[in-house]
Amino acid sequence: MSDAERTIRMEVLRYHPEHDEAPHRERYEVPVSHDTSVMEGLQYIKDHLDGRLAFRWSCRMAVCGSCGVMVDGVPQLACKTFLRDYDDAVTVEPLAHFPIERDLAVDQSDFVEKLEDAQTWLVPAAPRELADGPHRQTPAELERYAQFSHCINCLLCYAACPQYGLDPSFTGPAVLTLVHRWEADSRDGGSDDRRATLNAETGVWGCTLVGYCSEVCPKAVDPALAINRNKIESAKDYFLRFLTPRGGS
């Protein structure tokens, strides 16, 4: 951090479960220049004011998805949010709706388990060998899922989702988006194993259409759009159950 133009008061939520009875805020005066990000403010605190402050980061360029926090109550990437946009004070808290592990680091286990349960990876529709070469797709096939493949698993959409806050069994925006990403991929054949996740009450039908997930997404993934498209497929499954002996998938 260089060429400081002013200072800002950062009010950071602190919680060390082994020492603290409850989460509490602490205040720090941090020098700010035009290009000081919230993450650099946190790093200043750690380097100069309190080395015990815990927060996650890796890439510093909105790629890894590690640095999600609530900035003045809004889910943001700390590395992509700049202190120049705040006046005299700003609050920084851990992502809403997740248990606090320590200070600004939250326990992401629920999300990771849901990613695995939903099989959010390519299940090849047909076996292929290296000798078969690249599995080419047309631009139109790519277009069906490209936007949804930009998800960086940052969890901002979960912190924004009131339904997940009320009922953590809801599969949630990013996992449902990534399910749609693979469902829409012409190379994939894993649909049968994902339908149970999609069609459950805790799946797409748990979404109450608030849409804040799409507003806060830093990669313009638009999880609300993915969930709505999944709802169409899920509704088709429902009606196909009455027409086919084995069910709609």
Residues at the contact surface with ligand SF4, assessed by CB under 6 A:
151-157, 173-174, 177, 217, 219, 221, 223
Contacts of 14 (CB under 8 A, 6+ apart): 20, 23, 24, 25, 26, 53, 103
Q: Stretches 51-59, 108-116, 187-195, 201-209: which one binds ligand FES (CB under 6 A)?
A: 51-59
Judged by CB under 6 A, which of 9, 46, 60, 84 binds ligand FES?
60
Collapsing DSSP to helix, strand or coil, 152 comes out as coil
Q: Which is nearer to ligand SF4, 50 or 107 (CB)?
A: 107
176 binds, among ligand SF4, ligand FES, none (CB under 5 to 8 A by kind): none
Closer CB to ligand SF4, 199 or 214, in the complex: 214
Single residue of 31, 65, 75, 203 touching ligand FES by CB under 6 A? 65
Burial class for 222, CB neighbours closer than 10 Å (0-12, 13-18, 19+): buried
Part in contact with ligand FES (CB under 6 A); list of ranges 64-72, 162-170, 174-182, 187-195: 64-72
CA dihedral 51, 41, 25, 16 (to 10 degrees): -30
Please state, in angstroms and rounded to a whole number, the distance separating the CA atoms of residues 18 and 101. Answer: 10
